[in-house]
């Protein structure tokens, strides 16, 4: 193998140094700046993405806070409207109950008046009937027709004793 011959070592070392120098120069002047620029671009892009993500996170938190505040306000408004509706329904029910109570009281009073009128009428009819019956009973028992004033006084006296 010719590479392992000691007489060609010097030329091999020379060409090794030349090739290494050329590769080193290409790497140092061309490839390393490109790689460095690519790494810097990636760092800048990652940093920009992180900064944008932080901005979006802060914006999302603000939007969430605004949403929660609006939701709380809406819930409070809904509770207030529900409370007002309940109060209105209660007031309406109370008004209806008052009107119904008034109507029932008026109806009950009218019924009492009718009952008293009927009672008075019945009592008047009963008094007349009692007077007729008492008059006919006296006539049959003793055979004499009593005077209507005397029968009325006797019936009133008997009714007064019962009361």
- The DSSP symbol for 27 reads I
Segments forming the whole domain that contains residue 28? 8-40
Q: Which residues neighbour 84 within 8 Å (Cβ) at sequence distance 6 or greater?
A: none
- The number of folded domains in the chain is 1
In a domain, 79, yes or no: no
Tens-binned pLDDT, residue by residue, of the chain (163 aa):
677 788 888 888 999 999 999 999 999 999 999 999 999 999 999 999 999 999 999 999 999 999 999 999 999 999 999 999 999 999 999 999 999 999 999 999 999 999 998 888 877 777 778 788 888 888 888 888 888 788 788 877 877 776 5
In a domain, 21, yes or no: yes
Dihedral sign computed on CA atoms, order 97, 98, 103, 105: positive
Q: What tokens does 106 get?
A: 């008026």
Give the C-alpha separation, 74 to 80, whole Å: 10
Q: Which residues neighbour 131 within 8 Å (Cβ) at sequence distance 6 or greater?
A: 148, 151, 152, 155
In a domain, 16, yes or no: yes
In a domain, 146, yes or no: no
In a domain, 36, yes or no: yes
In a domain, 28, yes or no: yes
In a domain, 29, yes or no: yes
Q: Which SS3 state, helix, strand or coil, does residue 65 take? A: helix
pTM of the model: 0.44
In a domain, 56, yes or no: no
């Amino acid at each position: 193998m010719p590479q392992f011959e000691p007489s060609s070592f010097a030329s091999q070392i020379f060409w090794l140094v030349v090739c290494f120098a050329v590769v080193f120069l290409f790497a140092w002047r061309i490839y390393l700046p490109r790689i460095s620029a690519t790494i810097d671009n990636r760092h800048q892009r990652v940093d920009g993405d992180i900064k944008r993500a932080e901005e979006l996170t802060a914006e999302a938190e603000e939007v969430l806070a605004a949403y929660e505040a609006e939701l709380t306000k809406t819930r409070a408004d809904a509770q207030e409207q529900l409370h007002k509706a309940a109060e209105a329904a209660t007031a309406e029910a109370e008004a209806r109950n008052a009107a119904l109570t008034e109507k029932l009281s008026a109806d009950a009073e009218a019924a009492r008046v009718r009952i008293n009128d009927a009672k008075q009428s019945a009592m008047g009819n009963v008094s007349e009937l009692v007077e007729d019956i008492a008059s006919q009973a006296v006539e049959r028992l003793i055979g004499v027709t009593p005077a209507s004033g005397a029968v009325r006084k006797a019936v009133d006296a008997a009714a007064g004793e019962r009361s």
